[in-house]
Amino acid sequence: MAEKGDSSATGAETTSMAEKETPSMTEKQASSATGEETSSMAEKETSSMAAERKSSAVGEETDLEKAVERVVTTTPEDDATYKIDIMNESRRLLSLLKEMKLNQTVGLGRGDGDRAFLDEQLVILGSGQNWLNDRNLKCAMVDRVLVELLLEKLSSSLPDQNEAAKDLQMLTKAKPSCREAFSKLNGAISRLLSPLSLTKVESNPELQEDLITTVLNILTDDRNKNLVGEHPRAIPLLTESMKYGTDETRRNAIAALVSLSALDLNKFIIGSSGALAPLLEVICVGHPLAIKEAASAIRSLCKVYENQDKFTKLGAVKIILQKIKEGILVDELLGVLAVLSTHNDAVEELGDPDTFQYLIDIKRNTASEIAKKNCIEILFNVSMLEKPSFGNEKKKSRRVV
């Protein structure tokens, strides 16, 4: 009996312990649930704080952009100190905006590959600051300030000039708003050309190449064609650069003349500038790529009768025929002859029996439709304009261009 009692007591004690243990386990589960809930709340709080920080950063960025625009649209007073203050404030705000954008990008967890991509989007300014392209900041007024700052550096030391020239070449190649800036800024063309001297144009080939290339870049904006064409130093500098400098400089100088000659007024200015003889010199001894540009320039300039006359007197027909016989850029050079063939003096040369037969042979044997078309035009003009003379009556030119 006693044993049974002890056993019963032991069972009751075990049951009591189990009952005590059960609430303890429930407390642990509750504690775990509470922990999960706390963790979830913490995560939500962290996410919320991150969103607030991001929103705050965007707000700060917007404020900075507005500040930049406000500063750069301020009309400078005549006081030199005031102008310097505006420029310094512009630099400071642009630097802050750049750093903010870079920090945001890094904060998004970009890897090295992505950062390399970002670096490709940066233009390195001579002052050492980085500038994000149009995808990050679209503001023509800010681009105008960038151009202004770089033009200012062109009047500084030689290392600064080299850096500024390189940056201007890159910016004007990539951004239409930077090309447009030259038509908005007072004296921009003069300041761009200021480091170059007519007597020593090739003394710094790298600087010369960047500046001449920048001239070519800005001419894609039609507003600059007038400004450059009418600038007293621009075409003479392009002419000198066509003769001296790297191959790239020469080609770009000629291409700039081609672009300028799109305006009729510039055709007259170029024709009176001394650029015609150097263009023919390029046809004589230039690289094929330069010859192609020179042919385009001559063809465009010869749409003005006065330039036809000058090129003919400089021996253009003979020079061009010689290159055609050498098989160099036949299509392009026949196109130049087709334009010249409307001038009476050129007709006399092209009407020479041997030359006339040579052009007929080209027409018969060439597979180029362009060459055929140009030969037909030349032969037609020669046949129409070369009239037999009676007494002292002179031949007359129709001056059809």
Q: What band does 183 get if pLDDT is binned at 50, 70 and 90? A: very high
Q: What local confidence, expressed as pLDDT, does residue 387 receive?
A: 52
Mean pLDDT within 72-87: 57
Share of residues in the chain with pLDDT > 70 (%): 61
Share of residues in the chain with pLDDT > 90 (%): 53
- Report which of residues 116 and 240 the model is more confident about: 240
- Report which of residues 320 and 132 the model is more confident about: 320
164 Cβ partners below 8 Å, 6+ apart? 126, 150, 151, 153, 154, 156
Q: For the segment 123-173, what is each residue's pLDDT rounded down to a tens digit?
A: 434 343 444 444 444 456 778 888 998 999 999 899 999 999 999 999 999
Average pLDDT, the chain: 77
Q: What local confidence, expressed as pLDDT, does residue 143 receive?
A: 80
Among 44-58, 96-110, 129-143, 358-372, which is the least confidently predicted range? 96-110
Range with top average pLDDT, 74-88, 125-139, 169-183? 169-183
Contact 350, 309 (CB under 8 A): no
Q: For the segment 301-319, what is each residue's pLDDT rounded down to a tens digit?
A: 999 999 999 999 999 999 9
Contact 197, 244 (CB under 8 A): no
- Report which of residues 146 and 101 the model is more confident about: 146
- Report which of residues 60 and 310 the model is more confident about: 310
Q: Is a pLDDT exceeding 70 seen at residue 356?
A: yes
Q: Is a pLDDT exceeding 50 seen at residue 116?
A: no
CA 349, chain centre distance (Å) = 43
Q: Is a pLDDT exceeding 90 seen at residue 90?
A: no
Q: For the segment 225-284, what is each residue's pLDDT rounded down to a tens digit?
A: 999 999 999 999 999 999 998 999 999 999 999 999 999 999 999 999 999 999 999 999
Q: What local confidence, expressed as pLDDT, does residue 198 receive?
A: 83
Q: What local confidence, expressed as pLDDT, does residue 5 receive?
A: 47
228 Cβ partners below 8 Å, 6+ apart? 189, 215, 218, 219, 234, 235, 256, 260
Q: For the segment 28-56, what is each residue's pLDDT rounded down to a tens digit?
A: 454 555 555 555 554 555 555 555 555 56
Q: Does domain 138-273 have CATH number 1.25.10.10?
A: yes
